[in-house]
Amino acid sequence: MVLWQELTDRRDRLMEMVGSGAIIFASAPIVPHHKDVEHNYRQDSELYYFTGFPEPETVAVIVPRHEEHRFILFVRPKDPERETWSGRRIGVEDAKTIYGADATYPIGELDQHLPKYLEKADVIYYHFGHNENINQKVLEHYRRLVSSYSKRGTGPVAIHDSSFITTPLRQIKSGYELTQMTKAMAISAHAHAHVRSIARPGMYEYELQALLEADFRKSGAMGFAYPSIVASGANSCILHYVENNRQIQPGDLVLIDAGCCFNYYNADITRTFPVDGTFTPEQQAIYDIVQTAQTNAIAAVKPQNTINDVHQAALETIVAGLLDLGLLQGDPAEIIETEAYKPFFMHRTSHWLGLDVHDSGFYKTKGEWTTLQPHMVITVEPGIYISPDLKPQENQPEVPDRWKGIGIRIEDDVLVTNTGKQILTGLT
Ligand code: GLY
Ligand code: MN
Ligand code: MN
């Protein structure tokens, strides 16, 4: 779906920031899997955000002060023979009419046409990313234009990283984006609830994965937002466990971290539950701490607080809880200072969420933690992981075996509102 007004608004805001410069976006490269097989193509999120154009081998150029064309797309031309093998192409004509570019060209003509769009811009905004071919081309054109500057008296004199102007735009979600994200989250929450109702000892982790991902696709999602984690027993202590090949045993906890991607926007949800429906006392004790940590962290989500305040709320709760259980000892402030909690809680509590699962967004600017603003979306995902391989720490108690192999994370997606927050993924 091409949302003309939404995309025009995004480009208008971008053009204000680019001013007398030019900004260039390169499509994501095609990633080979093995011979003649490629990973599913996923457009570069920056290019997609400002153009909605989904195909590889694309370059988008935006030159706000150009007298003729302000938005230019270089795309794959139509090619009936190639399309028979590898799918339909939008082509040069439709790229213009459907995507609203002022000018479109075949990608093969990039070198021919790019200079005329850059030669009066005073700076190029570009992010040197994964597309090595276009990285090289941007550098070559920049070099040529700089060396001929003295003849023209115009042209770019610097390349600035474009992410510094695109990130603040992407961090604030529009109504349209929130609609896509809440749809992704509703599908994902439904799949979590479904799978939880079916999970039984004796099933394999991949069976639950298959059910989750089938629910995603059946609901119209593009697929998973990231490889689904279905971690039973001690696998729950591995943060990015993706093998999903163990048979679930009675008494196990099952940690499921899975979300779908709907129309390019992502959900990211984790739930941990006892497969038999009843926690052991140790599992319950850890679960209660993580749940309280999440509640306290979510309470800290509001404008003017920083993203680090959210983490601190979770961290302080986890440290207090582990002290209560005797799994840590000492002064809470010192434990935080010396990071003695890290063997149990080794990741941060939040990341930005949107077109990317770990979305574009600054955690700090000029050394200061980012202040939350309305229409930012973050995850809140505290966890405690007591690995079977946990080694005794200096000045800390030895952890009894009955605690080992317990890994619990609870993750929700939270919108910052004008007055506080809204949990977008509430499920039990
Ligand atoms: N599922 C990836 C993450 O939680 O960051
Ligand atoms: Mn996450
Ligand atoms: Mn997650």
Residue 53 has pLDDT above 80, yes or no: yes
User: Which residues, chain by chain, have CB under 5 Å from ion ligand 2?
Assistant: 268, 379
CA of 269 to the centre of ligand 2 (A): 7
Direct distance between the N- and C-terminal alpha carbons of the chain, in angstroms, rounded to an integer = 33
Residue 199 has pLDDT above 60, yes or no: yes
Per-residue confidence band for 34, with pLDDT thresholds at 50, 70 and 90: confident
List, for residues 119-149, the tens digit of each pLDDT value: 999 999 999 999 999 999 999 999 999 999 9
DSSP-derived letter for residue 352 is B
Nearest to 156 by CA among 113, 111, 127, 125: 125
Q: At what angle do helices 132-147 and 110-118 cross, to 10 degrees?
A: 50
- Per cent of the chain over pLDDT 70 is 99
Residue 172 has pLDDT above 80, yes or no: yes
Q: Provide the pLDDT for residue 97.
A: 96
CA of 257 to the centre of ligand 2 (A): 8
* 347 catalytic per annotation: yes
CA of 212 to the centre of ligand 1 (A): 16
List, for residues 228-277, the tens digit of each pLDDT value: 999 999 999 999 999 999 999 999 999 999 999 999 999 999 999 999 99
User: Which of 190, 347, 348, 375 does the annotation list as catalytic?
Assistant: 347
Q: At what angle do helices 281-299 and 307-324 cross, to 10 degrees?
A: 150
Residue 2 has pLDDT above 70, yes or no: no
Angstrom distances, CA of residue 106 to CA of 26, 176, 201, 310? 14, 31, 56, 48
Per-residue confidence band for 25, with pLDDT thresholds at 50, 70 and 90: very high
User: Which of 177, 411, 412, 413 does the annotation list as catalytic?
Assistant: 411
Angstrom distances, CA of residue 197 to CA of 277, 283, 349? 10, 19, 27
Residue 1 has pLDDT above 60, yes or no: no
**Count of CB atoms within 10 A of residue 88's CB?**
10
CA of 347 to the centre of ligand 1 (A): 10
pLDDT (mean) for 5-19 = 97
Q: From the CA of 358, give the closest atom in ligand 1.
A: 5
Pocket of ligand 1 from Cβ distances under 6 Å: 226, 257, 268, 351, 357, 381, 411
Q: Which domains does the chain have, with CATH numbers?
A: 4-170 (3.40.350.10), 172-423 (3.90.230.10)
Question: DSSP assignment of 4-60, as one string?
Answer: HHHHHHHHHHHHHHHTTSEEEEEPPPP-EEETTEEPPP---HHHHHHH----SS-EE
Residue nearest to atom 4 of ligand 1 (CA): 268
User: Which of 142, 241, 264, 385 does the annotation list as catalytic?
Assistant: 385
List, for residues 59-116, the tens digit of each pLDDT value: 999 999 999 999 999 999 999 999 999 999 999 999 999 999 999 999 999 999 999 9
Question: DSSP assignment of 241-281, as one string?
Answer: -----PBPPTT-EEEEEE-EEETTEE--EEEEEETTS---H
Pair type for strands 159-160 and 124-125: parallel
* 240 catalytic per annotation: yes
Cα torsion at 402, 196, 266, 371 (round to 10°)?
-50
Per-residue confidence band for 36, with pLDDT thresholds at 50, 70 and 90: confident
List, for residues 368-402, the tens digit of each pLDDT value: 999 999 999 999 999 999 999 999 899 999 999 99
CA distance 319 to 299: 18
Per-residue confidence band for 427, with pLDDT thresholds at 50, 70 and 90: low
Per-residue confidence band for 426, with pLDDT thresholds at 50, 70 and 90: confident
pLDDT (mean) for 161-167 = 97
CA distance 355 to 47: 11
List, for residues 289-303, the tens digit of each pLDDT value: 999 999 999 999 999
Judge contact between 205 and 246, C-beta under 8 A: yes
Average pLDDT, the chain: 97
Q: Return all residues near 393 (Cβ < 8 A) that are at least 6 apart.
A: 340, 343
CA distance 406 to 235: 9
Pair type for strands 229-232 and 103-106: unpaired
3-class secondary-structure state, position 316: helix
